[in-house]
Amino acid sequence: MWLLILFVVIGLFGSESFVEANFTTNCTIVAKGNLKFPKKFSFGVATSAYQIEGGWNADGKGISTWDEFTHNYPEKIKDGSNGDSAAESYRLFELDLQALKQLGVKHYRFSIAWTRIFPTGDIHLKNQKGIDYYNMVINKLLANKIEPMVTMYHWDLPVGIQKFGGFFNSMIIDQFSDYAEELFKLFGDRVKTWITFNEPNNICKSGYAPTLIEAPGVGDYICFTNVLKAHGATYRLYQKKFAKKQKGKIGITLDIWFVFSKTNNTDDVARAMHYNLGLLAYPIFSKSGDFPPIVLKEIEKSSIEEGRKKSRLPSLGEYWTKIIQGSGDFLGINYYTSRYVKPATEPMGKNPSMERDINVQMDFDPNWPRAKADWLYCVPQGLEGLLKYIRDEYDNVEVKITENGWVDSGELNDDNRIRYYKSHIQAVLNAINDGCNVTSYSAWSLIDNFEWLKGYTEKFGLYYVNMKSNKKGRIPKKSALYYKKVIATRSVPNDV
Ligand code: PNW
């Protein structure tokens, strides 16, 4: 009997069912200024290789950490699934292309699977079939006037590289920049927008880097440092050997929840932003370089108090500070949601950990409508706030929104996704009207795909894909037609 009651309670309040706050009033934002996006503004969509391609061992592809992780630990994925076939974009790119054309996008952000081109990760062994695949993708996009925006690394590390320690070993600096150099040689004549890393935060901190050893407060900082060095080295290499001829732009994509303070305490907001965005953005985009001074100072102090000889987050040093400072032509931003912050009353998280170092409480507003994922609330004013923060803090650097999207169970009649897009695209337009240097927007995602630890239980696509069928047709959801209208009119139609 008690068990039954427990099940009913879990059923009612478990993560699957939740009270949807009022969308029509709380997922909106007021339009300010010009109602049309500038002519040059580029609308597109984004995907990543492991999440859509399938063909996990097709045509000589090597094994990545995600192949290994999902095969060895299916119980860690919500539905026990994996990306072995996913939406089969490796076999069915033509279907993606039709969807892209139907939407009328100006660019397509996709990622290259390192193991498709270099099966072991090392550049001495090249897989021509993998190269052929990405040549085909790039050429077909260009033939249809769709610009390729290429992410070099979206979490699928070759196991051959992981064997050396992956991002814990500074060898990754050469391993990554060697790989990047090959990509410039192979595709740089046609690809003009490169993103080195997608969300180092997730690479270094969470279950999204499944094979990394957990060592919070130490390992994550080593990983950040190596990512920054690999990024900086790659940028310099491009400038030295390719920029003059290829004339492309190189950036990095960072994920960030914007934060508000209920008491309007600007110090709380500034501290949280220096840790959550600044750790990676400040070394690249600030005038002084290196990690934010407040972060360096606070972590050094805690480290000494913990009885260590030196800081868990050492300065990047003169040599690397110089290489990394200014090593971005644009800042890629993945924005999904926001939080309220206030200083913690009790020490947060494990000792040591980044959570303990930041030591702020994160809260949400019960009025914010929640998506199927327990972390995603609709907060469009957070996107506008974030863009203005970047404008003021980082000298109005060029920003490309590289991801933004809403998760549900995959319904075709997805009015809530439309409401989310409508308000967030309006937030971008408001920010542009207020002088923010935002030049492009990529909706996440073109098609339903493998949502990492959530498998196929959470869907972000503008197009529905029946993962069980062999045909895997792409069916436009209502939101795809809405986004098509946004692109065609360069405005924010009032459909919902
Ligand atoms: C991004 N969070 O990851 C990734 O770049 C995509 O591959 C992914 O499918 C998409 O967002 C949706 O999840 C994130 O918890 C994962 O805040 C988690 C968070 C943010 C971004």
Distance between CA atoms of 312 and 304, rounded to whole angstroms? Answer: 9
**Which pLDDT score, from 0 to 100, does residue 12 have?**
38
Percentage with pLDDT > 70 across the chain: 94
Residue 454 structural domain: 16-489
Q: Which amino acid is at 302?
A: S
With H, G, I as helix, E, B as strand and everything else as coil, classify residue 250: strand
With H, G, I as helix, E, B as strand and everything else as coil, classify residue 260: strand
Of 195, 227, 174, 19, give the one whose Cα is nearest residue 110.
Answer: 195
Closest ligand 1 atom, CA of 199?
5
Distance between CA atoms of 455 and 266, rounded to whole angstroms? Answer: 39
- Measured in Å, residue 271 CA sits from the centre of ligand 1 at 23
Of 165, 161, 159, 191, give the one whose Cα is nearest residue 177.
Answer: 161
Choose which residue among 77, 336, 445, 453 to substitute to test ligand 1 binding: the one with the highest number of ligand atoms within 8 A of its C-beta: 336
Closest ligand 1 atom, CA of 48?
7
Residue at 5 is within a domain: no
Query: How many other C-beta atoms lie within 10 A of the C-beta of residue 33?
Result: 10
Whose alpha carbon is nearest atom 18 of ligand 1? 202
Distance between CA atoms of 70 and 67, rounded to whole angstroms? Answer: 6
Residue 155 exposed, middle or buried by CB count within 10 Å (0-12, 13-18, 19+): buried
Residue at 1 is within a domain: no
Cβ pair 283, 275 in contact under 8 A: no
Residue at 495 is within a domain: no
Q: Which residue has the tokens 């920010």?
A: 431
Closest ligand 1 atom, CA of 451?
9
- Measured in Å, residue 338 CA sits from the centre of ligand 1 at 13
Choose which residue among 196, 204, 255 to substitute to test ligand 1 binding: the one with the highest number of ligand atoms within 8 A of its C-beta: 255
Residue at 494 is within a domain: no
Half-sphere exposure for 299 (CA within 13 Å, toward CB)? 25
Nearest-5° Cα angle at 358, 451 to 367: 60
Question: Residue 332 corresponds to which tokens in the numbers above?
Answer: 């890629």
Nearest-5° Cα angle at 150, 422 to 103: 35
Residue at 3 is within a domain: no
pTM of the model: 0.96
Query: How many other C-beta atoms lie within 10 A of the C-beta of residue 215?
Result: 14
Nearest-5° Cα angle at 245, 242 to 246: 70
Weakly modelled stretches of the chain, pLDDT under 50: 1-16, 207
Residue at 121 is within a domain: yes
From the candidates 199, 355, 393, 458, which is the catalytic residue? 199
**Which pLDDT score, from 0 to 100, does residue 17 have?**
52
Q: Known catalytic residue: 53?
A: no
Residues 6+ apart with CB under 8 A from 149: 44, 46, 107, 108, 109, 110, 193, 195, 400, 402, 440, 442
From the candidates 88, 298, 403, 458, which is the catalytic residue? 403
Residue at 414 is within a domain: yes
Choose which residue among 109, 199, 404 to substitute to test ligand 1 binding: the one with the highest number of ligand atoms within 8 A of its C-beta: 199
Residues 6+ apart with CB under 8 A from 459: 407, 408, 409, 410, 448, 451
Which residues contact ligand 1 via a Cβ below 6 A? Answer: 48, 51, 198-199, 202, 255, 334, 336, 375, 403, 444, 451, 460
Question: Residue 377 corresponds to which tokens in the numbers above?
Answer: 């609330």
Percentage with pLDDT > 90 across the chain: 92
Question: Residue 484 corresponds to which tokens in the numbers above?
Answer: 């098509």
Closest ligand 1 atom, CA of 444?
10
- Measured in Å, residue 452 CA sits from the centre of ligand 1 at 9
Residues 6+ apart with CB under 8 A from 484: 102, 103, 104
Indicate the length of the chain as a whole number: 496
Distance between CA atoms of 255 and 185, rounded to whole angstroms? Answer: 29
Q: Known catalytic residue: 199?
A: yes
**Which pLDDT score, from 0 to 100, does residue 456 have?**
98
Question: How do residues 286-321 score in pLDDT, each as one tens digit?
Answer: 999 999 999 999 999 999 999 999 999 999 999 999
Whose alpha carbon is nearest atom 7 of ligand 1? 48
- Which CATH number do you get for residue 70? 3.20.20.80
Whose alpha carbon is nearest atom 16 of ligand 1? 202
Question: Residue 198 corresponds to which tokens in the numbers above?
Answer: 């997608």
Dihedral over alpha carbons 389, 390, 392, 396 (to 10 degrees): -150
Pairing label, strands 474-476, 463-465: antiparallel
**Which pLDDT score, from 0 to 100, does residue 13 have?**
39
Distance between CA atoms of 117 and 342, rounded to whole angstroms? Answer: 46
Instruction: Give how many domains the chain has, as a whole number.
Output: 1
Question: How do residues 56-103 score in pLDDT, each as one tens digit?
Answer: 999 999 999 999 999 999 999 999 999 999 999 999 999 999 999 999
- Measured in Å, residue 445 CA sits from the centre of ligand 1 at 11
- Measured in Å, residue 63 CA sits from the centre of ligand 1 at 22
Query: How many other C-beta atoms lie within 10 A of the C-beta of residue 214?
Result: 12
| DSSP per-residue letters across 339-400 | EEEEE-SS--SSSS-HHHHH-EEEE--TTSPB-SSTT-B--HHHHHHHHHHHHHHTTT--EE
Closest ligand 1 atom, CA of 460?
12
Distance between CA atoms of 267 and 355, rounded to whole angstroms? Answer: 17
Whose alpha carbon is nearest atom 2 of ligand 1? 375
Distance between CA atoms of 285 and 327, rounded to whole angstroms? Answer: 8
